[in-house]
Chains A and B, each alone.
Chain A
Amino acid sequence: MSWEVSRGRILFSTLIGLVLTVLPLPQLADLIRPSFLVLTVLYWSVAAPRAAGVGLGWFAGLLLDVFQGPVLGQHALVLSLVSLITALEHQRIRSKPLFQQSLIVLVVLAFYQGVVLAIDGWTGHPLPSPLQWIQCGTGALIWAPAATLLAQGRRA
C-alpha cells in the first residue's frame, strides 16, 4: 500500500469534511453527527503525517472556529494537538486492524472533546449539552467506513 498522497486530495477531503460538519441538520441528526472534519484530519495525520500533520490540523481547526467556535483559536489548538499525537503514533495506529483503530479514534475523540470543553470553561463560555459526547461514539463507529472511503480515493 503506497502512502503517497497529493496535497490537493487532502485539501479537498478536508473541505468536504468541513461542509459535512457545518451542514445544517435537524436536531436529532445534529446531535449524533460526528465531527467529520476531525475524522478527516485524523485520517490524514495517520495516513500522511508529513503532508498533513499539525499544519492541516491547525488550519482546519481555525476554519471550524470561524464557523462555530465562540473563541478563535480554540479548535485550532486542540485539533493541532490531536493531529500531533496521531501523527507521532501513526505507524502503530496504521498497523492495527480497523476495529482497533476505531477504538483508538474513540479515545482520541473523547480527548478532543474534553480539551475543547476545558477551553470553553476556562474562557467562561457556556458548556454545550452533555449529549455531545455521543458524537465521540458515532465518530468511532463511522471511522472504518470513512477510512476505507478515503483510502479508496487515494488508491484510485
Chain B
Amino acid sequence: MAAFGTGGIRSQGRGPPLGFRFTLYAILSIVVMFLDQRHGWLEQARFLLQAGAYPIQLAVNSPSTAWSWLSQSFRTRESLEAENARLRNKQHELELRTMRYDALARENGELRGLRDALPQVADRWLAAEIVTDSHRQRILINRGTTNGVFKAQAVLDDKGVIGQTTHVGPWSAEVILITNSEHAIPVTIERTGLRTIAVGTGDEDSASLALPYLPGNADVKPGDQLVSSGLGGVFPAGYPVGRVSEVHRDAVQPLAQVRATPYGHVDSDRDVMLVWFREDHPAAPVTGTAGDLQVGNKALQPQPAPPPRPKATPPAAQPERSGENPEKRQARDAGQPETPTGTPPGANSTAPHTTNSSGGARKPTSPSGTVNPPPAPSSNRGTAPAPASAEAAPATKEPAPVEAPKTPTPEQSASPPPRDP
C-alpha cells in the first residue's frame, strides 16, 4: 500500500510532508463522515467494509464461541435430561396454547366478518446467531443479504422484540437494539389500547425503555404490557415489547415519567429471529407516511371513530355535577369569571382549582397537565378526558354563557343537562 509512506529509514525522507498528507486524509474523512451521516451514499462502501471486516469479527469472537461449544459438548447426562424434560413440557404448553390460538383466530376472523381465518402475519422466519455482543447497544448477527436480510428488518427473540437491522453486509448485519437511545419503537399499551412511542434509554447496565410522551393523567401503571403497534413501518403489530416497570407522576410535570423493561434479552440468548411478514396482512407494519392505511385489506380497516359526543357524557360525571350544581349555578348567575370558593365536594379537591383559574380565562392552557389523575379509572379513553372536560367545561363557559348553546362542542355537550333544569 502506497498510503503507508515510503517505508523509510529516516523521519525526513521522501514523499510529501506529513502535514500535507494529514490534510488530505482529514478532508477525506470529513467527506466520508458527511456522506455517511447526511446522505447515506456510502451504503455500498459500508457493504464492502462489512464484508471485509466479518472474518476478523468471526476470528475475534472465536474464543467465546469455542468456549460455549466446549461447555456444550461436555455437559453431563443429567443436565441434558433435565433440559430435555423442560423442553418437552414447554412444547406441550405451547401446543396447548396454539390450539387455543387457532380457535381465537377463527373467532376473531368471524367477528371481523371474515369467512376464513387470516394467515399469520409472519411469512418467514430465519434464525440468526449473535456474532459480537452489544457495543453501544448494537449487535452483529451472522446473516446478511445472501440470506435475504434487508435494511430495517425486525429482529425478535422468543420473548419479544430485540431491534432492527441498520447496516447489512453480505454475510452479516448490524442490529440496533430497542434499548439504544437512538431507537424508538411505536407501541400500544395492551390493557388500554393507548398508543405511544417507547424510546431506548441507552443504559448499559440495565436494559430499559422510556415512554416519554405520555401525559400525566394517562392510564398506565406498572405491569402493563407493551406490544408493537404496527406503525412506523418496521415492526408488525402485536409483538410483545416489554412491561411497564415504574410510573412517576409529578403534579408539576405535564408528562408522566414511565419506564419499561424489554422482554427480549441479548445478553443471555445467543439466537435471534429475523422476520419477513406478509405485506397485505392487516397486522403488517404501516409504511405509508399518511394517516390512512396503504397496505392491508380494505375490508379490515377499522371503523371511523364515532363522533365523540356520546363518549363525553360519562355516567360517573352526573352525580358529581349535581352535587356541585348549586354553587356553580350561583357563580354563573352572579357572572363571576372565577369561583375561588367553588370547590366541589367531590374527590378532586385541588384539580378544579387549577382548572378553574387557568382554564377560566382560556381553555387550551394545558388542562390535562394540571389535572390530577382520577382515582377511579374505569374505562380507558373515557376517564382520561372525562374529568378534565367535566370540570373544564363550566369554566370555559362562564365568561361567555351566551355562546354555549350555539356551539355545542363535545366538551360542552356534557354540561347542558345540569343547566337546563
Is the C-beta of A107 less than 8 angstroms from some C-beta in chain B? no
- A59/B3 in contact, CB under 8 A: yes
Q: Chain A's interface: helix, strand, loop or mixed, by majority?
A: helix
**B8 CB, min distance to chain A CBs, angstroms:** 4
Is the C-beta of A50 less than 8 angstroms from some C-beta in chain B? yes
**A90 CB, min distance to chain B CBs, angstroms:** 6
- A73/B22 in contact, CB under 8 A: no
Is the C-beta of A74 less than 8 angstroms from some C-beta in chain B? yes
Give A27's nearest chain B residue, CB to CB.
B204
Mark out the residues of chain A between 72 and 121 whose CB falls within 8 Å of any chain B CB in the assembled complex. Answer: 72-74, 76-77, 80-81, 84, 87-88, 90-91, 119
Is the C-beta of B7 less than 8 angstroms from some C-beta in chain A? yes
Q: Which of B52-60, B188-196, B228-236, B347-355 contacts A (4 or more CB under 8 A)?
A: B52-60
- B11/A90 in contact, CB under 8 A: yes
- The contact of B33 among A59, A84, A90, A123, by CB within 8 Å, is A123
Q: B9: which A residues are within 8 A, CB to CB?
A: 3-4, 50
- B182/A56 in contact, CB under 8 A: no
Mark out the residues of chain B between 2 and 32 whose CB falls within 8 Å of any chain A CB in the assembled complex. Answer: 3-13, 15, 18-19, 21-22, 25-26, 28-32
CA distance A54 to B42 in the complex (A): 23
Is the C-beta of B365 less than 8 angstroms from some C-beta in chain A? no
Q: B19: which A residues are within 8 A, CB to CB?
A: 84, 88
Q: Which of A63-71, A135-143, A144-152 contacts B (4 or more CB under 8 A)?
A: A63-71
Interface residue total, chain B, C-beta cutoff 8 A: 50
CA distance A6 to B5 in the complex (A): 12
Is the C-beta of A58 less than 8 angstroms from some C-beta in chain B? yes
Known: A55-B21, A74-B33, A77-B29. A19 touches B11 (CB 8 A): no
Is the C-beta of B135 less than 8 angstroms from some C-beta in chain A? yes
Is the C-beta of A153 less than 8 angstroms from some C-beta in chain B? no
Q: A91: which B residues are within 8 A, CB to CB?
A: 11
Which B residues fall within an 8 A CB radius of A? 1, 3-13, 15, 18-19, 21-22, 25-26, 28-33, 36-37, 42, 45-46, 49-50, 52-53, 56-57, 59-61, 63-64, 132-133, 135-136, 180-182, 202, 204
Per CB-CB distance, the 4 closest pairs between chain A and chain B, nearest first, are: A73-B32, A50-B8, A77-B29, A73-B33
Q: List 30 A-B contacts (CB under 8 A).
A: A4-B9, A11-B4, A49-B11, A49-B18, A50-B8, A50-B9, A50-B10, A50-B13, A51-B5, A53-B21, A55-B1, A55-B4, A55-B5, A57-B25, A66-B52, A72-B36, A72-B46, A72-B49, A73-B30, A73-B31, A76-B25, A77-B25, A77-B26, A77-B29, A80-B22, A80-B25, A84-B22, A87-B11, A126-B136, A126-B180
